């Protein structure tokens, strides 16, 4: 699994999730992930919800909806957002520490 990997969900292949936990944590059988939601249907708070482009589709990281997901529920890996580590880390800091 790549660092900051984006996956579909097996039972909802249209839904994208970003795995936030480090790949080494996946050995425990689950990962911490947050959904990537269409910006047209989601109110974006700039620091908490960074926006990414997927082939013209604008999606926001719903950081406040993070959850543990069993590996068996992940579908296909779509991409990695490793190059966007800084805004993702800022969103996590905002969620937990308010900074």
Q: What ranges do the domains of the chain cover?
A: 5-97
Which regions of the chain does DSSP assign to beta strands (E)? 5-9, 12-19, 30-38, 51-54, 57-61, 67-70, 74-80
What are the tens digits of pLDDT across the range 5-20? 999 999 999 999 999 9
pLDDT for 32:
97
Please, what is the average pLDDT of the chain?
95
Distance CA 77, CA 39 (A): 21
CATH annotation of 5-97: 2.30.30.110
Which residues have a Cβ under 8 Å from the Cβ of 85 and sit 6 or more positions away? 3, 4
What does pTM read for this prediction?
0.94
| Digit-coded pLDDT (tens) for 27-84 | 889 999 999 999 998 899 989 999 999 889 999 999 999 999 999 999 999 999 999 9
């Amino acid at each position: 699994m790549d660092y900051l990997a984006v996956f579909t969900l097996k039972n909802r292949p249209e839904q994208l999730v970003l795995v936030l936990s480090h790949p080494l944590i996946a050995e425990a059988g689950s990962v911490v992930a947050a959904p990537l939601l269409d910006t047209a249907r989601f109110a974006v708070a700039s620091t908490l919800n960074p926006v990414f482009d997927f082939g013209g589709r604008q999606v926001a990281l719903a950081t406040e909806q993070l959850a543990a997901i069993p590996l068996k529920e992940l579908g296909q890996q779509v991409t990695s957002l490793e190059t966007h580590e800084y805004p993702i880390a800022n969103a996590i800091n905002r969620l937990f520490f308010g900074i």
